[in-house]
Structure 1
Amino acid sequence: MTPDLLSPGSEGDHRDAVEEDQPIPLTARRRAWVVLASTAAVAIILDVITKTLAIQHLSGQESVRLLGGAVYLTFTRNAGAAFSIGTNLTWIFPIIAIFVCGVIVVLARKLASLPWAVAIGLILGGAMGNLGDRLFRSPGPFRGHVVDFISVFGDAGERFPVFNVADSALTCGVVLAILLELTGRRRDGLPADTDAHGS
Structure 2
Amino acid sequence: MENMALKKWLRFIAVVLPIVIADQAVKMAVLVRIQYADSVEMIPGFFYLTHLYNTGGAFGLGADAASWVRILLFLGVSSIAAIIVLVLYKKTPYESRWFSLALCCIFAGAMGNLIDRLFRDGKVVDFLEFYIPAVPMNLFNPWPPFNIADMAISIGVAVLMLYFLTGKDPL
2:154 is aligned to 171
Structure 1 residue ranges, 4+ long, deviating more than 6 angstroms after superposition: none
How many residues align? The count is 155
* Gaps in structure 2 of 5+ consecutive residues: 133-139
- Correspondence 1:81 to 2:57: yes
Aligned mates of 1:159, 1:62 — CA distance in 2: 15
1:152 corresponding residue in structure 2: 130
Provide the rounded CA distance (Å) in 1 between the counterparts of 2:34 and 2:82: 30
The secondary structure found in structure 2 opposite 1:52 is helix
Look up the match of 2:137.
Answer: none
Please say which of residues 75-84 and 162-171 is displaced more in the overlay: 75-84
Distance 1:30 1:185 in 2: 23
Identity of aligned residues (%): 32
- Please give the TM-score of this superposition, normalised by the length of structure 1: 0.71
8 Å CA contact 2:54–2:126 kept in 1: the answer is: yes
Deviations 1:82-132 (A, max 9, x none): 332201142211100100111012112222122122111110000000001
Q: Check the 8 A contact 2:78/2:110 in 1, yes or no.
A: yes
Contact between 2:37 and 2:52, CA under 8 Å: does it hold in 1?
no
Structure 1: gaps of 5 or more residues: 1-24, 139-143, 187-199
Aligned-partner Cα distance in 2 for 1:74–1:68: 13
| 1:41 corresponding residue in structure 2 | 17
Q: Any idea what SS the aligned residue of 2:35 has?
A: coil
- Alignment TM-score, normalising by the size of structure 2: 0.82
1:137 correspondence with 2:125: no
Change (3 A) 1:102 1:61: closer
Cα distance 1:29–1:178, how it changes in 2: closer, same or farther (>3 A)?
farther
Between structure 1 and structure 2, the one with the greater Rg is 1
**2:77 corresponds to:** 96
1:151: Cα distance to partner?
A: 0.5
| Cα RMSD for the two superposed structures | 1.9
Q: Indicate the SS of the match to 1:103.
A: helix
Shift of 1:60: 3.8
Match of 2:45 among 69, 75, 95: 69
User: CA separation in 2, counterparts of 1:176 and 1:37?
Assistant: 19
Do the aligned residues in 2 keep the contact of 1:38 with 1:121 (CA within 8 Å)?
A: no
Distance 1:96 1:83 in 2: 16
CA contact (8 A) 2:130 2:145 kept: yes
Residue 35 of structure 1 contacts residue 114 of structure 1 at CA under 8 Å; is this kept in 2? no
Distance across 2 between alignment mates of 1:179 and 1:93: 27
